Structure 1
Amino acid sequence: MNLLRKLLFPFAILYGLITSIRNFLFDKGILKSYSFDLPIIAVGNLSVGGTGKTPQIEYLIRLLSDKYKIATLSRGYKRQSNGFVLADATSDATILGDEPFQFFQKFATIQVAVDADRKNGIERLLGQQEKPEVILLDDAFQHRKVKAGFYILLTSYGDLYSNDIVLPTGNLRESSSGAKRANVVIVTKCPSNLSLDEQNEIKNKLKIAENQQLYFTYIDYDEYIYSENKKIKVDEIKSFDKVLVAGIAKPEPFFAYLQNANDASLSFPDHHNFTDKDILEIKNLAQNNIIITTEKDYVRLKGSLPNEQLFYLPIKSSFISGSENFDKTILNYVERSTTNRKLY
């Protein structure tokens, strides 16, 4: 923890008090939360920074989209549009934000919407002629104005919310006591061989309640990299000289998975809007070598770098164990909520 963050500790106490009062007012019904007559699953975290929300949302899309009409609703971080936007053929990352645009490109059968006001976004989605049957709220754990039917809380391995404090001294958006609102807690970005002893140790640190489920996931990298019209096996390109580009919160595992001693790597802030200067730097560094970036950054870089040079590496969230039980929990919630809706 740097000196400035330590000096800001009095403000952390004040911030923690304000967020605790806000949560108390919502818990007691003094501030109103709005419920909706369909299954709504909120995925979020207590901390700022990357805990793996995007691969978790994609996991839920794959789990549910064969059986239900799915919509995702995100804030659309760093987008250059305002209000409610429903993705269509004219949309791009500047209109939607990088992660919603990634959903839109990958999953042709779902609706993708952005709105900082989640209540308004849900109402607008339900006003469409093609109404969703399930809504996935992306990064909405603190959005108390909407009461979701099911909450999934993510926390990163090695950066657990139980070991942190609130902003600006720490990285938490609210006190770790907010974790009690979660139905499921997922520890993300774990080593794939995480032992049962360490899982139990983490469970005790997080103080998981009896009514909550705990799971552990790891980042599973694709065996191919992809361009607009080509794919290459990762094993084949690891020995190539290349440039790796990442604008994500914690790029080290991405670099480590692909990098050899001769590779160059460029790291940018999370959700970075690449400037002309950035593009020129990448081109000059790459020359005729291939450029590999994250899937999230690819949607921003596509069109600015040569198609034959630019590739991306997809990732997904995989469960160390218990995936069947997690799937059953989600499917049971959605089916139960959908059945109740039809009955009443």
Structure 2
Amino acid sequence: MISFGKILFFPILFILSQIYKILFFLDRSFKKKRTLPSSVTISIGNFSVGGTGKTPFTLHLAKLLHSNFPNIPIVILSRGYGSSGAGTRKVSENSSPAEIGDEPLLLKKNLPFAEVYVGSNRYDSYLQFRSENKLANDQKVFALLDDGFQHHALNRDLDLVLLDCTKLSKKEFVLPMGLLRESYASVSRANFLVASKFSEEYEDSLSKWIKKYRPSQTLRFRFFPQKLVPLSFGSSEISVKELTGKSVFAFAGLGNPGSFYSSLKDQNPSELKTKSYPDHYSYTKEDLIQISEKAPDKNYIVCTEKDGVKISSLIGTDKNSSNWFYLRLETILENESELIKSIRSFI
């Protein structure tokens, strides 16, 4: 649904959207593309701004690659959206989320077998990765382009684009009218459409979408809440089922936090209060104090894993934060053998 403000300024926004489309087309058509040497380059992207489940999918894909091709190194190349650092930075588990970005840090913490590099020039980041890891010139590498569908500077072997199934019933518009970076028709450039946050309730809407836009191949990607991981040192992980009948305060800094809140609601807590922050929000001690004040009597305070990597250092060993947790998800990619088959053809 279009807001009143967008209706009021529709003529201006419409013109700006057309200008955006033209500039985007020119950039894609005329930008000189480079090829990452000795790599199988896989782009992971989406149509819209934020909140499609791209980070959980990148985690799933990296683990899938490692289990099927354990001898091939993996590097994830990110621009580090929202980070304050400059130049190319190698991400470690102890990196500052402010310097390298929350998503690259989350990826590295969950993927000890992979390297993550952040930098505005992904070609330079890739060369630095190969140099620092002393790879032979003919050593093949899986190079994953995080948020790469609209990145026109590099050639890729496979394009994977995510579609948020929770938004299929909504009419979406291209920026700045809406949140689409480009129209859904651009799925024609993708090798695989990944139907993210899928469940059976979205099957009819997804089938209609597929019939209309005709993606080459479609993979359904599901999320399941798995467990609650403590944010304070010294506490233990617990089953997500512990939320049943308990009072919960949940907060998230996501582009689309609806599915996160729904996954908690599905556990049937006695009470669920929520607070949303902007995507990639940088939390402060004051924010945590305010959250505590809003939830003085709640059994559990729960955030997303992406938020958790940013606030765990702020909580530390605070015994008053023993009821703070982040939600860890289990992910399932249907028919992933088709994706592996396609990747294997490039090795």
Task: Identify the TM-score tier after normalising by the shorter chain.
Answer: 0.7 to 0.9
Give the aligned partner of residue 341 of structure 1.
none
Structure 1: unaligned runs, 5 residues or longer: 26-30, 339-344
Tell whether 2:310 aligns with 1:310: no
- CA shift in 2, pair 1:99/1:158, >3 Å: same
Shift in Å, 1:270: 1.3
Tell whether 2:329 aligns with 1:326: no
Aligned partners of 2:309 and 2:339: how far apart in 1? 30
In the alignment of these two chains, the number of paired residues is: 323
Give the aligned partner of residue 144 of structure 2.
136
- CA shift in 2, pair 1:38/1:15, >3 Å: same
Shift in Å, 1:183: 0.8
Aligned partners of 2:258 and 2:51: how far apart in 1? 12
Give the aligned partner of residue 200 of structure 1.
207
Give the aligned partner of residue 235 of structure 1.
241
Give the aligned partner of residue 93 of structure 1.
97
Aligned partners of 1:295 and 1:90: how far apart in 2? 16
Structure 2: unaligned runs, 5 residues or longer: none
Determine which of 124, 128, 140 is the counterpart of 2:128: 124
Shift in Å, 1:201: 1.9
Name the SS for the 1:278 alignment partner.
Answer: helix
Letter in structure 2 aligned against 1:48: V
Tell whether 2:118 aligns with 1:114: yes
- CA shift in 2, pair 1:162/1:13, >3 Å: farther
Letter in structure 2 aligned against 1:292: V
Name the SS for the 1:127 alignment partner.
Answer: helix
Give the aligned partner of residue 220 of structure 1.
224
Q: Percent identity?
A: 27
Shift in Å, 1:192: 3.9
Render the CA deviation track for 1:237-256: whole Å, top value 9, x for unaligned: 32222321211122222223
- CA shift in 2, pair 1:243/1:41, >3 Å: same
Shift in Å, 1:95: 2.1
Give the aligned partner of residue 288 of structure 2.
279
Aligned partners of 2:64 and 2:119: how far apart in 1? 24
Give the aligned partner of residue 35 of structure 2.
35
Aligned partners of 1:39 and 1:325: how far apart in 2? 16
Q: Give the TM-score normalised by structure 2.
A: 0.85
Shift in Å, 1:130: 4.4
Name the SS for the 2:117 alignment partner.
Answer: strand
Aligned partners of 2:26 and 2:40: how far apart in 1? 28
Render the CA deviation track for 1:150-196: whole Å, top value 9, x for unaligned: 1101111143599533211122223444322211111211224554x
RMSD (Å) for aligned C-alpha atoms? 2.3
Q: Which moved more, 1:107-116 or 1:238-247?
A: 238-247
Aligned partners of 1:165 and 1:53: how far apart in 2? 20
- CA shift in 2, pair 1:263/1:135, >3 Å: same
